[in-house]
A and B are shown apart, each in its own frame.
Chain A
Amino acid sequence: MLKLEQVNAYYGRVQALRDISLEVSEGEIVAVIGPNGAGKSTLMNTISGIVSARSGQITFAGVPIAGCRPEQIVRLGLSQVPERRQVFSTMSVADNLVLGAYHRYRHEHKETIAQDMDFVFEIFPRLKDRIKQMAGTLSGGEQQMLALGRAWMAKPKLLLMDEPSLGLAPLLVKEILRVSGELRNQGMTILLVEQNARAALDLADRAYVMESGEVVLAGSAEQLTADARVQTAYLGRKPVSN
């Protein structure tokens, strides 16, 4: 569904992505793990079109999207739940969700969009209680729910999630991941970027490990969980000395 081939991108003058190749198939949850500054967020923003790739191919559902503007990419069915949520803080929860469906307003009925909003309230009842509240007054966890709901309102085929666990209490991380799993069961494809490697590997089918802008390891979640390097670097196990 999503394929990156030899993608290079720069953040200012610093090369943030080096020859990144990765693939996400339909119905999968794929995780990208790695330390802070590995280029994970740049990867997400390059796919979303906010950072433009200097070279390489990005194809989504058979369409080359490298060089497309962010709003065109959203229209193709690729939504991002951004790092630090980026909700519209001085607007209500309802308005945030409505704006998630911004590109659908031109050719879809208001009722369908309202039904989708009800679905978001079903999975996150807490948002329903705060429907008229300004997004900026929500707790971090609620804002994350809102950001996820907002991205979902675009009816994406592929959901990019950038550090959903950042700054959240463990219980909320679980909640967010549970919902992500549920969305997958409904046929959503997810590409997840996480520093919390354990949570990401628990949820994902496959994973890539990124370091200094490069993919250094790839494999199924089980393989990577069992990998000695991943265990010492990201899962906090002591190296086995023999």
Chain B
Amino acid sequence: MRQFFRGKIGKIVLATGLVFAAIALCVWLGSRQRLLPQHYVQLTLDGMRGGSIYALMALGFVVVYRVTGVINFAQGEFVMLGAMLCLTIHKLPLPLPPALKLIVAIIAAIVLATLIGAAVERLTIHPARRSPPVTLTIITVGVTITLRAGALLAWGADPYVLPAFSTLALEDHIFRFGSVILQAQTLWIWGTLIVVLVLLYFFLEHTIMGKALRACAVNQRGAQLVGINPGRMSMLSFALAAALGAIGGIVLGPVTRPIYDMGLMLGLKGFVAAIMGGLVSVPGAVVGGLLLGVTENLAAGVTNPTYKSVFAFVILIAILLFRPQGILGGTGQATEEVK
């Protein structure tokens, strides 16, 4: 029996069984709350909205981890910076039409956050580059605390608002399908995720910079020997991760109320999503993010919404215990051994 569950077919049977058990449990709990089918649709859609943000964050974790071996816990702070910088620039009294003003604010916020990401690498990771990854990872924890404290000084402890992209106002368009509702901003979030994925794919597969970044992730010695500077690639990976985080923060801005410490929970959720995807794979990060968003939202919906985050971390523990290589992962081998 144990043998069977270790084999390939056994594992598939086991996984399918677990999924059905989870769905059955979900439906049973939901029926006690008198949930109707459209409620599940609503919970899933909302989960995919949050999941898209987690996916963007997970991509940031994956990019930095693959190139440097560092788990960049400051990833969540880049999300906060994206949202905060955007709304701050948007509030500046610029003589521009409202739509253009928002576009300018968005672009400026992404650029600034990217520069901050690069600066973080230069100032904190680069000087310690000869240290083991664990040390560098702990440095990123320090960066997190510093950035959050800086944000508290700059923006105070009150939440802010960012206008919805479609209406340029606090009230967003709402699409109704029966009793299922969908905010226009949700479509912006999904669209952003798709555009980012296309751009990221193009960058990594079709530009020499992107190829150099991948080469550095695969074989650092080989990369050095063809003239790639690993330090510069490390900086590029942080800048890219910061840009991904900031984009997530900006599109999320209108549906939450951006606040100086929003990066804490988002960063951890993004980390859970990256772990679900195996920490090294781009598709894994996206699947992990969406799956995490939907799962935690459904689980919270059928029990109690205040438990939402609990489910994310239960998933994290379960993945680390039973499938450390991630849901899609094969061998769990991060990079080939460089000798």
- Chain A interfacial positions (CB closer than 8 Å to B): 48, 50, 69-71, 74-75, 79-80, 82, 84, 86-91, 95, 98-100, 102-103, 105, 136, 150-151, 154
Q: Indicate with 1 or 0, residue by residue over B201-215, a CB within 8 angstroms of chain A CB atoms.
A: 000000010011011
- CB of B218 within 8 A of CB of A90, answer yes
On chain A, the residues within 8 Å of B208 by CB distance are 98-99, 102, 105
The 8 Å CB contact of A79, one of B218, B219, B225, is: B225
Q: Which of B4-12, B93-101, B226-234, B244-252 lies at the interface with chain A? A: B226-234
B336 touches A89 (CB 8 A): yes
Interface centre among B214, B219, B225, B229, by most A CB within 10 Å? B225
The answer for the CA separation of A100 and B211 in the assembled complex, in Å, is: 11
Q: How far is A98 from B206 in the complex, measured between Cα atoms in Å?
A: 11
User: Within the assembled complex, what's the spacing in Å between the Cα atoms of A79 and B338?
Assistant: 19
**How many pairs, one residue from A and one from B, have CB atoms within 8 Å of each other in the complex?**
73
Report whether B222 and A74 are in contact in the complex, using a CB–CB cutoff of 8 Å.
Answer: no
Chain A neighbourhood of B219, CB < 8 A: 86-89
Judge whether B256 is part of the interface by a CB distance below 8 angstroms: no
Contact of B224 among A71, A89, A150 (CB under 8 A): A71
A-B contact pairs, 5 of them (CB 8 A): A50-B225, A71-B224, A88-B218, A88-B219, A88-B222
Q: How far is the CA of A183 from the CA of B222 in the complex (A)?
A: 22
- Indicate if the CB atoms of B226 and A150 lie closer than 8 Å: yes
B231 → chain A closest CB, angstroms: 9
Bound-state Cα–Cα, A88 to B219, Å: 6
Contact of A82 among B215, B222, B336 (CB under 8 A): B222
Task: Check B339 for interface membership: any CB of A closer than 8 A.
Answer: yes
Chain B min CB distance to A122 (Å): 21
Bound Cα distance A69, B226 (Å):
12
B173 is an interface residue with CB less than 8 A from chain A: no
Contacts of B227 in A (CB 8 A): 70-71, 74-75, 102-103, 154
Rounded to whole Å, the gap between the CB of B101 and the closest CB of chain A is: 37
Residues of chain B within 8 A of A100, CB atoms compared? 226
| Distance in angstroms between the alpha carbons of A132 and B214 in the assembled complex | 16
Q: B211 and A91: CB pair below 8 A?
A: yes
On whether the beta carbons of B228 and A82 are closer than 8 Å, the reply is: no
A69 CA to B223 CA, complexed, in Å: 13
Chain A residues with CB under 8 A of B91: none
Cβ-closest chain A residue relative to B214: A91
Closest-CB distance, A213 to chain B (whole angstroms): 20
Most buried by B among A86, A91, A136: A86
Q: Could you tell me the distance in whole angstroms from the C-beta of A46 to the nearest C-beta in chain B?
A: 13
| Besides A86-B338, A88-B219, 13 new A-B residue pairs in contact (Cβ under 8 A), listed by A number | A69-B229, A71-B228, A79-B226, A82-B225, A87-B222, A88-B222, A89-B218, A90-B336, A91-B215, A95-B215, A102-B226, A103-B226, A151-B226
For the complex, give the distance between the alpha carbons of A91 and B225 in Å: 16
Q: How far is the CB of A104 from chain B (nearest CB, A)?
A: 9
Contact residues in A for B226 (Cβ distance below 8 Å): 74, 79, 99-100, 102-103, 150-151, 154
Q: Which of B212, B223, B228, B339 contacts A84 (CB 8 A)?
A: B339
User: Which of chain A's residues have a CB closer than 8 A to the CB of B212?
Assistant: 99, 102
Residues on B with C-beta less than 8 A from A74 are 225-227
Distance (Å) between the CB of B28 and the closest chain A CB? 44
What 6 A-B pairs are tightest by C-beta distance, nearest first? A74-B227, A86-B222, A103-B227, A70-B224, A71-B227, A88-B218
Q: Which residue of A lies closest to B227 (CB)?
A: A74
Taking CB as reference atom, which chain A residue is nearest B207?
A: A105
- Beyond A71-B229, A102-B226, whether A50 also contacts B221 by CB under 8 A is yes
- The answer, among B211, B221, B223, B228, for a CB contact under 8 Å with A98, is B211
Q: CB-CB < 8 A to B338: which residues of A? A: 86
Task: Please tell me if the beta carbons of B225 and A48 are within 8 angstroms of each other in the complex.
Answer: yes
Determine whether the beta carbon of A88 is less than 8 Å from that of B221: no
Give bound CA distance, A79 to B224, whole Å. Answer: 10
- Asked if A82 and B229 make an inter-chain contact with CB atoms under 8 angstroms apart, the answer reads no
**A79 CB, min distance to chain B CBs, angstroms:** 7
Residue with the highest number of chain A CB atoms closer than 10 Å, among B215, B227, B336, B339: B227
B-chain residues with CB within 8 Å of residue A102 when the two chains form the complex: 208, 212, 226-228
- In the bound complex, CA of A98 to CA of B211 (Å): 9
Chain B residues with CB below 8 A from A70, complex form = 224-225, 227
Write out the residue numbers on chain A whose beta carbons fall within 8 Å of the beta carbon of B215. Answer: 88, 91, 95, 99
Nearest neighbor of B208 in chain A, beta-carbon distance:
A105
Q: Which residues of B contact A50 (CB under 8 A)?
A: 221, 224-225
